[in-house]
Amino acid sequence: MLMTKPTNTPPPPSPLATLARIRCVLVGTTHTGNLGAAARAMKTMGLTRLELANPRSPPDAQALARAAGADDLLQRAGVHASLAGALTGCRLVIGASARLRSLPWPLLEPPAAARLLLAEAALGDVALVFGRENSGLANEELACCYSLVHIPTDPAFSSLNLAAAVQVLAYEVRRAWQEGQGVALVEGPREVATAEALDGFHAHLARTLMDIGFATPDQSTRLLMRLRRLLNRARPDWVEINILRGILSAAQGSRRAGRAAARARG
Ligand code: SAH
């Protein structure tokens, strides 16, 4: 199936519209107070779009108390059953991580992450993803991220409170925005595939690898993560994703034809 790119091309960016396209996504948040504190942290830095992926509970009185006037962000916050739902339409996803991973993932310093988010937000929606208070981001959530951003800390005690991490990174975004830097794109604007198009591709890839006998369901998790990392690094555009999916469909088709021929012979 061909992936179609969204037809609603974003209007030319104004500086404020650029900040409005940077969404903070909180995944699996346990303490509602942290939802409010994160909203407050965002609003102080001019970020307005909060998305909640599978929070333990929706914003409540405790959240409102900690929001201290950023209630509007909480009220407008989208609540989604999964991270994928919170990332719909995003052309760039960066995950905030308190620790380094067993499978190394590309890593940015906060100022570089902020510049990249801003540069890409001039072209479309982008997301900064924060993990759970007790366990951070799961591997399959990390798999959606082009890169991670880590706030340098004492390595012996590297985990900030969730809202404190939101504050530091929102501040970096604001600083980069104020300096008017970060708009120097390394490459020209490209119609990169969105998070959901990449998810669709990876699901297709996983099915095909099983169909052609390259992978088995029980062995493939790490392999699929490596392939995720490779594709995320490349940031394929819509045409490239369609070419790759065409190749996968052809591989599945020839496998099916081979099986049918073998059955007819035997
Ligand atoms: N105990 C968790 C950390 C949870 S803190 C773990 O080991 O992963 C909640 C979230 O705040 C993290 O998932 C991350 O998104 C953010 N965070 C905390 N400290 C951070 C740091 N030093 N750099 C970047 N993000 C951080």
The tens digit of pLDDT for each residue in 3-23 reads 566 555 545 556 678 999 999
Question: How far apart are the CA of 151 and the centre of ligand 1, in A?
Answer: 9
What average pLDDT does the structure give for the chain? Answer: 90
Q: How far apart are the first and last CA of the chain?
A: 32
- Answer yes or no: is the C-beta of 25 below 6 A from any ligand 1 atom: no
Residue 189: per-residue pLDDT:
74
Of 97, 166, 168, best ligand 1 pocket probe by most atoms within 8 Å of the beta carbon = 97
Give me ligand 1 centre to Cα 20, in Å. 23
* pLDDT interval class at 24 (50, 70, 90): very high
pLDDT at 183: 47
| Chain segment 165-181, per-residue pLDDT in tens | 999 999 999 999 988 74
Q: Is the CB of 108 under 6 A from ligand 1?
A: no
Q: What confidence tens digit (pLDDT) does each residue in 208-255 have?
A: 999 999 988 777 888 999 999 999 999 999 999 999 999 999 999 887
Q: Which architecture does CATH list for 15-180?
A: 3-Layer(aba) Sandwich (3.40)
Closest CA to 3 of 262, 172, 195: 195
* Percentage of the chain modeled with pLDDT above 70: 91
Question: pTM, whole model, 2 decimals?
Answer: 0.83
Question: Is domain 195-259 annotated with CATH 2.60.120.260?
Answer: no
The stretch 203-210 carries a mean pLDDT of 95
Q: Compute, in angstroms, the gap from residue 173 CA to the centroid of ligand 1.
A: 18
Q: Are strands 90-96 and 125-130 parallel, antiparallel or unpaired?
A: parallel
Delimiting residues of CATH 3.40.1280.10 domain(s) in the chain: 15-180
For residue 158 and ligand 1, the question of a CB distance below 6 A is answered with: yes
Residue 110 pLDDT > 90, yes or no? yes
Our answer on whether the CB atom of 109 is closer than 6 Å to any ligand 1 atom is no
CA distance 58 to 222: 33
Q: Would you state the pLDDT for residue 4?
A: 60
Q: Write out the residue limits of the CATH 1.10.8.590 domain(s) in the chain.
A: 195-259
